[in-house]
Amino acid sequence: MVIEKIKNNTVKIGIDGDTQEFLDDIFIENNQCYKQAEIYSNILSGLMDARAGIVGNNLNVLMKTLNIITICIMMPTLVVSIFSMNIKFPLQNHPLAFVFVLSLAVISGIGFLFFWKRKKW
C-alpha cells in the first residue's frame, strides 16, 4: 500500500521517470510475492486439514480396538460376577466349581474373540 501511494504521488514528491519505473517494478514484485505467499498458505492449510483427517481416522481405529478389548474383558467378568452372587447355584459346593467358573470365563472370552474375527470388525 505504501509503494502504491508513493507511485500515485510521484508528482508531489518530485520523483523522476527512472525512479518511477523502479517503483512500478517494486510494486509488481511485491504483488507477485503476496500472491505466492497466499498460494503457499492455501497449500499448507490443505496439508494441515489432510493431516487432521489422518489423525482422526487413526483415533477412530484406536477407539475401535480399545472398545473391542473392553468388551472382551467384560465377558469373563460377567461370567465370574454371576457365579459370585450370594444365591444357590448348581455345583456350588463341588470341589471343581472354581475350575468350572474359570474355564467358563475363559471360554466366553475366546468365544467373543472368534465371533469378532468372524465378523471382521
pLDDT at site 32: 94
Q: Could you state, in order of their start, the residue ranges of all structural domains in the chain?
A: 2-119
Closest CA to 29 of 4, 5, 10: 4
pLDDT surpassing 80 at residue 25: yes
**Residue 119 phi, psi dihedral angles, 5° rounding:** -75, -15
CB atoms < 10 A from the CB of 20, how many?
14
pLDDT at site 121: 64
pLDDT one-digit tens code per residue, 36-95: 999 999 999 999 999 988 888 889 889 988 988 898 889 888 888 888 877 777 777 788
pLDDT at site 41: 95
> CA of 55: how far to CAs of 48, 60, 63, 70, 79, in Å?
10, 9, 12, 22, 37
